[in-house]
């Protein structure tokens, strides 16, 4: 039923739950999982130009992305699930839905909330926007 599964991850506990659920689904479906880290250039930093982030923050965000993607890849390796990993810059829900469209994603698995403020803990605004805008089915993972 599912061949390509997308999991946006930010390294939070909520996204780790999404990774675990996506890996479980993929292992039963023999699907490939796409782990995606989006550097939020809309809210978390000022852009130094179109498609680029400020130089002094690049190393920090690259390390955060690598750490989150490494943790997700470890879970996939342990379950013998094939995967791809990617890092993009942009507005998270837009980058997630664009990636989903470009890679023919069948299922997006997202955490109920991520590393954002208190107001977004009910159903993170990124999660809410992905649910409303994605063409693929969306599974909201909760602990």
Domains of the chain: total: 1
Taking 70 as the threshold, does the pLDDT of residue 47 lie above it? Answer: no
Q: 4-44, pLDDT tens digit by residue?
A: 999 999 999 999 999 999 999 999 999 999 999 999 876 54
pTM of the complete model: 0.84
How far is residue 132 from each of residues 6, 79, 93, 94, 138, measured CA to CA in Å? 16, 30, 10, 11, 9
- Give me Rg for the CA atoms of the chain: 14
67: containing domain: 4-141
CB 7 within 8 A of CB 111: no
Write the CATH number for 100: 3.40.50.620
CA 120 – CA 125 distance, rounded (Å): 6
CA 35 – CA 77 distance, rounded (Å): 13
**pLDDT recorded at residue 118:** 43
**pLDDT recorded at residue 66:** 96
**pLDDT recorded at residue 57:** 64
Average pLDDT value for residue range 102-112: 96
């Amino acid at each position: 039923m599912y061949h390509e599964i997308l999991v946006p991850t930010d390294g939070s506990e909520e996204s780790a739950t999404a990774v675990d659920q996506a890996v479980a689904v993929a292992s039963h479906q023999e699907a490939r999982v796409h782990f995606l880290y989006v550097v939020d250039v809309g809210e978390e930093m000022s852009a130094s130009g179109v498609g680029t982030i400020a130089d002094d923050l690049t190393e920090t965000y690259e390390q955060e992305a690598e750490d989150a993607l490494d943790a997700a890849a470890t879970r996939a390796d342990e379950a013998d699930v094939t995967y791809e990993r990617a890092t993009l810059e942009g507005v998270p829900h837009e980058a997630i839905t664009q990636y989903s469209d470009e890679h023919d994603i069948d299922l997006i698995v997202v955490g109920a909330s991520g590393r954002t403020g208190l107001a977004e803990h009910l159903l993170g605004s990124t999660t809410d926007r992905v649910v409303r805008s994605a063409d693929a089915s969306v599974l909201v993972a909760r602990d």
